[in-house]
Chain A
Amino acid sequence: MSSSNNGFMLEVKGLDKRFGQVHAVKDLNFQIRKGEIFGFLGPNGAGKTTTMRMITCYMPPTSGSIRVDGLDPIEQSLAVRQKIGYLPENNPLYNEMTVREYLQFVGEIRGIKGSKLSSRIDDMYSVCGLSRMSGRQLGHLSKGYRQRVGLAQAMIHNPDLLILDEPMTGLDPNQIIEIRNLIKKMGHEKTVIYCSHILSEVSATCDRILIINEGQIAASGTPDELTQKSSSGTSYNVRLKGDRYEMETRLSEIAGVSSVKVQSVENEWVSLTLSTGSKDDIGEAIFKCAVDNKWSLSELKAETVSLEEVFKQLTRG
């Protein structure tokens, strides 16, 4: 055990990767504490998989350093690989092997032997719900089961760091919920890095999120922090009965309102969207304004900016 890791499972400093002309990862810096479920988020082609490949010793960085529990993936490659469980993108499997043969092979490669290995395989069967599939050929399994075998493969040696690259691709909603619960369960004891381009997935599972775009960090923090960080304030959807032009003038006079937009007019009912520059609650002021002008009010709803929008704002060049 190394002592110099200050409780960090993973430390990445100035990580840089070029493929010829393509600059895939640019000066990445981040740390992951032990026991965190860490979301690694970005649009396709942002450099997520490349970063994971460097952490898992598949390819070395052009420059910068990586420390996995204090170990260097280049100098102490085999020790680092032993600490990591990796489910690559698209979950490649040896299709001609059966589930049991495959897990046995992976276990042996990881140095687990004999009765220890068969008890680990049984554990994986129960954790991943694979018992009934033991003798099936991997090539004949459904996508959901293949994914579970991929997870079992990644967890069989009880790794300290579990790296999952797009684990939900091609799963149906029920399977997604199952796998999500599985990941949360893992997160109690292990550090998990969860790569995805689907934001709702990551925000439902992860303690902390890092958003990268074009190889650079665009934002990082807890899901709540990221929502708050977004520059735009709250917006209100209002539906009132009365004269539309009068409404536009009166409503824009309310303190804090930066713009008023008419969305639609049906008979006398007018739907408007009010945007504010700040996060102050002006719901009451809107209501008072409606009462003062004797407009009937049928809808008043505050909408905070969703993570989805934060993501869009951050990753749109």
Chain B
Amino acid sequence: MAVFKKEFKSFFISPIAYVFIVVYLVVTNFLFFQGFFLINQADMRGYFGLLPWILLFFVPAITMRSWAEEKKVKTLELLQTWPVSDMQVVMGKFLAAFCFLAIAILSSITIPVTVALLGSPDPGPIIGGYLSAFLMGAAYLSIGLWISSITENQINAFILGVVAIFILFIIGSQFVTLAAPQALIPILTFIGLGNHFESVERGVIDSRDIIYYLSVISFFLFLNVQSLGSRKWE
């Protein structure tokens, strides 16, 4: 699909993509190995524990540009008169961003290799961890893309994206649920992005968690298609 190809290439046209991947790797590796040798345990718990917080900033940085820039430069108007449906464009952008993020996450493969050389880690949680990182990353991306589609300014898209993801993440944590009314607790725990991450990360792949992530992704992609169509009701 043309949109996917163009979007994916556009990540690599500027040096920002390489800077992004390098910074991502440096930050994650540094934060991980800082504690790794102290704890002296051959697993990647620490790494996957950090990931939701690191992605919280890295994902909006990937998505902030995608719609906001097109709106600002007005290429969106042209794009929407070409023979592609809004749905196709949204999917193209989403998949391109996802592939880019997947490359970044997979570049951290040096960590499990190092861990495996130093000890004998249980492969289950590591594979589970990567799987949940992809799912969570995709969910973050869909939120970030939607935010980008309702703003015209990249910086706003970034900040609002971080805030939106943060709220969805924290809403299910104990910190919030302790203060919430009793009846809301199961709902909040279910909606919160974080709880589903932890269970997959433990190596337990529960179809409910996968379904949860897929629904979050489809929901925000749907909102994205809607916000593109909003020009029609004005």
User: Assuming A58-B80, A59-B234, is B75 touching A109 (CB within 8 A)?
Assistant: no
> Nearest Cβ distance between residue A75 and chain B, in whole angstroms?
14
Select one of A19, A111, A153 contacting B83, CB under 8 A. A111
> Nearest Cβ distance between residue B182 and chain A, in whole angstroms?
45
Chain A positions 76 through 119: 1 when the CB is less than 8 Å from some CB of chain B, otherwise 0: 00110110101010101111110001000110111100000000
User: Assuming A58-B231, A59-B234, is B81 touching A84 (CB within 8 A)?
Assistant: yes
Stretch at the interface among B3-11, B29-37, B47-55, B189-197: B3-11
Select one of B10, B77, B78, B85 contacting A96, CB under 8 A. B10
Report the Cα distance A92→B77, complex, angstroms. Answer: 8
Q: Say whether B208 faces chain A, with CB atoms less than 8 Å apart.
A: no
Smallest Cβ-Cβ distance to B75: which chain A residue:
A92
CB of B232 within 8 A of CB of A59, answer: yes
Report the Cα distance A190→B73, complex, angstroms. Answer: 29
Report the Cα distance A57→B231, complex, angstroms. Answer: 11
Q: Say whether A60 faces chain B, with CB atoms less than 8 Å apart.
A: yes
Q: Say whether B175 faces chain A, with CB atoms less than 8 Å apart.
A: no
Give residues of chain B (180-234) contacting chain A, Cβ–Cβ below 8 Å.
Answer: 231-232, 234
Residues of chain B lying within 8 A (CB to CB) of residue A95:
73
Select one of B9, B73, B231 contacting A59, CB under 8 A. B231
> Nearest Cβ distance between residue B57 and chain A, in whole angstroms?
23
Most buried by A among B14, B74, B78, B232: B78
User: Assuming A96-B10, A97-B10, is B83 touching A78 (CB within 8 A)?
Assistant: yes
Q: Say whether A213 faces chain B, with CB atoms less than 8 Å apart.
A: no
Chain A positions 22 through 58: 1 when the CB is less than 8 Å from some CB of chain B, otherwise 0: 0000000000000000000000000000000100111
CB of A110 within 8 A of CB of B74, answer: no
How big is chain A's contact interface, by range? Answer: 20 to 34
CB of A97 within 8 A of CB of B83, answer: no
Give residues of chain A (185-201) contacting chain B, Cβ–Cβ below 8 Å.
Answer: none
Residues of chain A lying within 8 A (CB to CB) of residue B10:
94, 96-97
CB of B82 within 8 A of CB of A106, answer: yes
User: Assuming A59-B231, A60-B232, is B3 touching A109 (CB within 8 A)?
Assistant: yes
Report the Cα distance A111→B83, complex, angstroms. Answer: 9
CB of A78 within 8 A of CB of B85, answer: yes
Chain B positions 70 through 92: 1 when the CB is less than 8 Å from some CB of chain A, otherwise 0: 00011101101111110000000
Residues of chain A lying within 8 A (CB to CB) of residue B14:
96
Give residues of chain B (5-31) contacting chain A, Cβ–Cβ below 8 Å.
Answer: 5-6, 9-10, 13-14
Smallest Cβ-Cβ distance to A81: which chain B residue:
B83
Report the Cα distance A316→B83, complex, angstroms. Answer: 39
Smallest Cβ-Cβ distance to A53: which chain B residue:
B77
> Nearest Cβ distance between residue A89 and chain B, in whole angstroms?
9
Chain A positions 276 through 309: 1 when the CB is less than 8 Å from some CB of chain B, otherwise 0: 0000000000000000000000000000000000
Residues of chain B lying within 8 A (CB to CB) of residue A97:
6, 10, 13
CB of A109 within 8 A of CB of B232, answer: no
Smallest Cβ-Cβ distance to B231: which chain A residue:
A59
CB of B82 within 8 A of CB of A110, answer: yes
- Taking Cβ atoms with an 8 Å cutoff, the residues of A that contact B are 19-20, 53, 56-60, 78-79, 81-82, 84, 86, 88, 90, 92-97, 101, 105-106, 108-111, 153
Pairs A–B under 8 Å by Cβ, sample size 29: A20-B234, A57-B80, A58-B81, A58-B231, A60-B232, A78-B85, A82-B83, A88-B74, A88-B81, A90-B74, A92-B74, A92-B77, A92-B78, A93-B75, A94-B10, A96-B13, A96-B14, A97-B10, A101-B6, A101-B9, A105-B5, A106-B82, A108-B5, A109-B82, A109-B84, A110-B82, A110-B83, A111-B83, A153-B78
Q: Nearest 7 CB-CB pairs, A to B?
A: A108-B2, A92-B74, A56-B81, A81-B83, A92-B75, A109-B2, A82-B83
